[in-house]
Amino acid sequence: MFALTRTLSRKLSKRFTNPSTGQGKDGSRNEKCENVRCRLSSLDSLCKKTELSRTQLRALYRGFKQECPTGCVDEDEFKAIYEKFFPIGRSDSYAHFIFNTFDSDKTGSVTFEKFVIGLSVLARGTTRQRLRWAFNIYDLNKDGKITQEEMLNVVTAIHDMMDGCSKPTGDEECTPNHHVELIFKKMDRNKDGVITRDEFIDACMKDEGVRQSMKIFDTLL
């Protein structure tokens, strides 16, 4: 899961640093973002929030504005980007979950500030901060715990997106349902049918493979 997240995050950062076009798929601005503008009027503040340099932020900002002249990305545009990364599988569902993780205040759009703050958590955050970000992907209703249904929705989306590619579990026989059962057996310590944020983070921190995989985010930016 974390290798997949790093790969997608790196592709997103490169996409906005080296954009191919400054407009949407149809060559026009997106109406949903028409009134949204993103300025670097508080660059120093954003440097502190993200621990990125002014040079890095300016480079990302130029690419973001060239790719998204309205100053934001809506969900349809976000899904279109993911579709290019995974043209064989079905990426809509997983792109929806990732979009909601970036769109923290649920405005229906991801501004540059939202994007770069989320990206900086993966690139500059501690292991626990990165795990909290990952937890939010699965906590669909943002109530601080993951149900089996929520986990199954996300795992199924990952399997659908990776169709035709190597499976994220490394086991082609592992169905989404079986994968979720294994995760809950490992993480749901009190067997109450949900995984809390603490259970998720503690289980991951005790897993040497997960801790090592977190280090791959160090080269994200």
**Which pLDDT belongs to residue 37?**
47
pLDDT-derived band at 6 (thresholds 50, 70, 90) equals low
**Hey, what long-range contacts does 177-185 have (CB within 8 A, 24 or more apart)?**
177/152, 179/155, 180/148, 180/151, 180/152, 180/155, 183/151, 183/155, 184/148, 184/151
pLDDT-derived band at 20 (thresholds 50, 70, 90) equals low
Question: What is the residue extent of each domain of the chain?
Answer: 9-18+41-124, 127-219
**Which pLDDT belongs to residue 134?**
92
Residue predicted with more confidence, 13 or 30: 13
Same fold, 9-18+41-124 and 127-219: yes
Q: How far apart are CA 144 and CA 73, in angstroms?
A: 26
Query: Is the separation of the CB atoms in 57 and 40 below 8 Å?
Result: yes
Domain 127-219 has CATH 1.10.238.10: yes
**Which pLDDT belongs to residue 5?**
60
62-82 pLDDT, tens digit per residue, is 888 877 788 888 999 889 888
32-68 pLDDT, tens digit per residue, is 554 444 455 578 889 988 988 989 888 888 888 877 7
Beta strands in the chain (DSSP E): 72-74, 109-111, 145-147, 194-196
CATH number of 9-18+41-124: 3.65.10.10, 1.10.238.10, 3.40.190.100, 3.90.190.10? 1.10.238.10
Q: How far apart are CA 212 and CA 121, in angstroms?
A: 17
**Which pLDDT belongs to residue 58?**
87
Give residue 86's region: left, alpha or beta (phi > 0; psi -120 to 50). beta
Q: Is the pLDDT of residue 168 over 90?
A: no
**Which pLDDT belongs to residue 164?**
47
Q: Is the pLDDT of residue 25 over 90?
A: no
